[in-house]
């Protein structure tokens, strides 16, 4: 069983993406940060792969949950084969996104950088900034509109 973790700062759409990929609404999606504290697992099938996706809590939230959430995410990632790093370029990168990027570099796992909330082509203008995170080309997706998900999963399975 291949495990893949979804990580990022709060509110970028990790749980939305998780739900969309596993095809069920299991993780709670909310307009405010900090809803997911424990790691949530869900199974998805893609091509010949059976993948256990892990939805993790928002990293570098700046609140009291920051340290325990990061510890839980780190534990979950001990058996992950790849990471989906979710950002929200429409909101722009924050210090938290750069913290997550540095943390991921230390963990030494393959990282697929995802720009979420790219609901239509007109949002592509927001992508350029994400190159600065140091994980190469950002993949535009929209969890809400189910855009870009096959390209994302092709990239993910290339690391399994
Ligand atoms: P998480 O904190 O990273 O798990 O983020 P959530 O999945 O809870 O989503 C945070 C907010 O972003 C919610 O209001 C979602 O409806 C919204 N959201 C998530 N994905 C998208 C998307 O693809 N497009 C847009 N426009 N909003 C999204
Ligand atoms: Mg969440």
Whether the per-residue pLDDT at 36 is higher than 90: the answer is no
For 104-119, what is the mean pLDDT? Answer: 96
| pLDDT for residue 31 is more than 70 | no
**pLDDT digit string (tens) for 145-158?**
999 999 999 999 99
Domains along the chain with CATH numbers: 2-157 (3.40.50.300)
Ligand nearest to the CA of 141: 1
* Ligand 1 geometric centre to CA of 16 (Å): 6
ipTM: 0.99
The arithmetic mean of pLDDT across residues 83-107, rounded, is 97
- The pLDDT tens digits of the residues spanning 2-26 come to 999 999 999 999 999 999 999 977 7
Predicted local confidence at residue 81, as pLDDT: 96
Q: Is the distance from CB of 85 to CB of 135 less than 8 angstroms?
A: yes
pTM (2 d.p.): 0.95
> Which of 14, 29, 122, when mutated, tests ligand 1's pocket best, judged by the most ligand atoms within 8 Å of its CB?
29
Bin 86: left if φ > 0, else alpha if -120 < ψ < 50, else beta.
beta
Q: Identify the pLDDT of residue 38.
A: 82
pLDDT at 34 over 70: no
């Amino acid at each position: 069983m291949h495990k893949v973790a979804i990580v990022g700062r709060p509110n970028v759409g990790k749980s939305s993406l998780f739900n969309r990929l596993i095809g069920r609404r299991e993780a709670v999606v909310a307009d405010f940060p900090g809803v997911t504290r424990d790691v949530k697992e869900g199974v998805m099938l893609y091509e010949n792969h059976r993948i256990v996706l892990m939805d993790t809590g928002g990293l570098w939230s700046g609140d009291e949950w920051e340290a325990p959430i990061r510890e839980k995410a780190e534990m979950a990632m001990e058996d992950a084969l790849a990471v989906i790093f979710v950002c929200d370029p429409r909101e722009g990168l924050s210090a938290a996104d750069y913290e997550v990027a540095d943390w991921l570099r230390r963990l030494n796992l393959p990282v697929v950088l995802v720009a979420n909330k790219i609901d239509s082509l007109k949002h592509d203008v927001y992508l350029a900034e994400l190159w600065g995170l140091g994980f190469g080309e950002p993949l535009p997706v929209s969890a809400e509109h189910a855009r870009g998900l096959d390209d994302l999963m092709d990239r993910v399975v290339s690391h399994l």
